[in-house]
């Protein structure tokens, strides 16, 4: 059951310590925290959307959606994002907070005019939020090869009423995320 005290808001510069704490606690190491810090400081990730979930004053969850491009980095392209990473501290996991962050993020991205959102994630989780497995079948290739047995983990969701009208091709992430190390199991 979702904790009723959970509040979600966009992050500010002074939230950096809370973001790092959530990322480190959620994953039990600093790999995702470092990636998140790099994304927050990467000009090619903008415009990004960074949200924190709080239980009263305690930061318990974080999500970031960063800018991606099709085939080449060109600012004249439609606005497209990728969700990575989503982090919930251990004692708050399996309470619906991740879902709240995803839903709020997708709503805000749509308001910002984002056309699509990608995620490389758990096949049993993200389809609950209308992500379509195996984005490659729709013509959207991941930045780095994904083994066939994990093809369904590369997912996409259209945020516009016309569906998947964005040019097909290879997704290019922000420089901080566009590294092969982030695309391996």
Domains in the chain: boundaries: 6-183
The structure's pTM equals 0.95
3-state secondary structure the chain: CCCCCEEEEECCHHHHHHHHHHHHHHHCCCHHHHHHHHHHCCHHHCCCEEEEEEECCEEEEEEEEEEEEECCCCCCCCCEEEEEEEEECHHHCCCCHHHHHHHHHHHHHHHHCCCEEEEECCCCCHHHHCCECCHHHHCEECCCCCCHHHHHHEEEEECCCCCCCCCCEEEEECCCCCCHHHHCC
Task: Please tell me the predicted confidence (pLDDT) of residue 185.
Answer: 63
| Record: fold of 6-183 | Aminopeptidase (3.40.630)
Residue 110 CA: distances (Å) to CA of 11, 113, 179: 18, 5, 27
CA atoms within 13 A on the CB side of 118: 29
Strand partners, 173: 68
Residue-wise pLDDT tens for the chain (185 aa)? 455 789 999 999 999 999 999 999 999 999 999 999 999 999 999 999 999 999 999 999 999 999 999 999 988 899 999 999 999 999 999 999 999 999 999 999 999 999 999 999 999 999 999 999 999 999 999 999 999 999 999 999 999 988 888 889 999 999 999 999 888 76
Pairing outcome for strands 169-173 and 58-70 = antiparallel
């Amino acid at each position: 059951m979702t904790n009723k005290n959970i509040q979600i808001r966009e992050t500010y510069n002074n939230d950096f310590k809370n973001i790092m704490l959530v990322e480190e606690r959620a994953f039990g190491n600093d790999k995702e925290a470092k990636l998140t810090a790099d994304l927050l400081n990467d000009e090619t990730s903008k415009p990004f959307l960074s949200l924190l979930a709080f239980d009263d004053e305690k930061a318990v969850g974080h999500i970031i959606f960063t800018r991606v491009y099709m085939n080449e980095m060109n600012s004249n392209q439609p606005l497209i994002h990728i969700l990575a990473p989503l982090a919930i501290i251990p004692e708050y996991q399996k309470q619906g907070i991740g879902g709240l962050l995803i839903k709020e993020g997708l709503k805000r991205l749509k308001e910002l005019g984002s056309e699509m959102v990608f995620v490389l994630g758990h096949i049993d989780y993200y389809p609950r939020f209308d992500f379509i497995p195996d984005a490659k079948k729709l013509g959207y290739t991941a930045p780095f090869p994904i083994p066939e047995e994990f093809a369904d983990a590369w997912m996409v969701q259209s945020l516009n009423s016309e569906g998947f009208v964005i040019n097909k091709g290879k997704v290019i992430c922000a420089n901080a995320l566009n590294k092969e190390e982030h695309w391996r199991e």
